Amino acid sequence: MTRWTFDDIPDQTGRTAVVTGANSGIGYETARMLARKGARVVLACRSAAKGEAAVRTLRSEGAGAPGPAEGSVSVQGGVSTQGSVEFAALDLSDLDSVAAFAERFTAENDRLDLLVNNAGVMVPPFTRTEQGFELQLGTNHFGHFALTGRLLPLLERTAGSRIVTVSSAAHRIGRIDFDDLNWARRTYKPMAAYGQSKLANLMFTLELRRRLTAAGSAVRATAAHPGFTTTNLGRTAGAPVHFLERLVGMASHDGALPTLLAATDPAAESGSYWGPAHLFESRGAPVRARVSRRARDEAVAGRLWEESEKATGVTFAFTSNGGDSGGTGV
């Protein structure tokens, strides 16, 4: 594959995408580029103020017009023929918010072409979610697991749909500790907890692909990681991380390219994982990324799925919707 860039994103006109955590960083750039290619993009964010500000900025930059509920779709800035952007409230650390978002979105929409599970928290002080989970696992994994399960029926009714989950190179340091998933008995180590959540993200994608394939579903599940990208995610990570960001960090629009490739490129088959090409996958154009041995453990992935169902109360209603199980991406 030659160096993959924004220009390689296929036309997205007529497609609807939900991008979680799209008010800043990788999520914002993912939403911006999809809208510039013609997609209707829903910025699903916890903060209404930040989400609505991001929508205003995108529109002022010509990356999208108002969404269907907010006004007629029109060309802005000459960069999009049909693209639009809109905000919707979603707090992934609260399963009630996830359920409300999914119920509302499903009631108001007849298609969902792309779900980008991007939102995340990184190395915060120990905190619990509304349902009592450790914040990083609860937000990064359980929240997205529940969201995906609740939106799956709509995805399966949409030809060529995809689910992209953003993991991290830090998945390689992660371990799934089923005896203490939520750090109730261990001394809390923020980076280890982050690694566990990112390993869960990647294992979720691989197990989701297996289950979709077994059911004969045409929905495609892929994963990506941004490498070392300068975003707001690591604002609590400390001085060493900020130093590395200044030294080797990529801009957010470059860090979003692996996600966009996984979301749109016909070559990104179900189960594939994408990240930067160079410097131990920290920067560069997107290529196939390395999946750790732990992430490939199907027995652990199966148990994680079961534990996730118990934790969230969400089960996946897989159906056979025919067609190419790889999807089309266009």
Report how far residue 210's alpha carbon sits from residue 21's, in angstroms, rounded to the nearest whole number. Answer: 26
Closest-CA residue to 328 (of 210, 180, 220): 220
- The residue with tokens 């007849």 is 110
Task: Name the DSSP class of 282.
Answer: T
Report how far residue 178's alpha carbon sits from residue 96's, in angstroms, rounded to the nearest whole number. Answer: 24
Closest-CA residue to 26 (of 181, 282, 229, 311): 229
Secondary structure of residue 163 in the 3-state scheme: strand
188 catalytic residue (yes or no): no
- In total, the chain counts a number of residues equal to 330
- The residue with tokens 């995906």 is 148
Given CA atoms 71, 12, 161, 141 in this order, what sign does their dihedral have?
negative
* Both tokens assigned to 107: 């009631």
* Separation in Å, CA 168 to CA 56, 93, 194: 29, 19, 9
8 A C-beta contact, residue 192 and residue 170 = no
First CA to last CA distance, the chain: 18
Which residue out of 28, 188, 194, 273 is catalytically annotated?
194
8 A C-beta contact, residue 287 and residue 275 = yes
8 A C-beta contact, residue 222 and residue 328 = no
8 A C-beta contact, residue 328 and residue 159 = yes
Would you tell me how many other CB atoms lie within 10 Å of the CB of residue 273? 22
Catalogue the active-site residues. Answer: 194
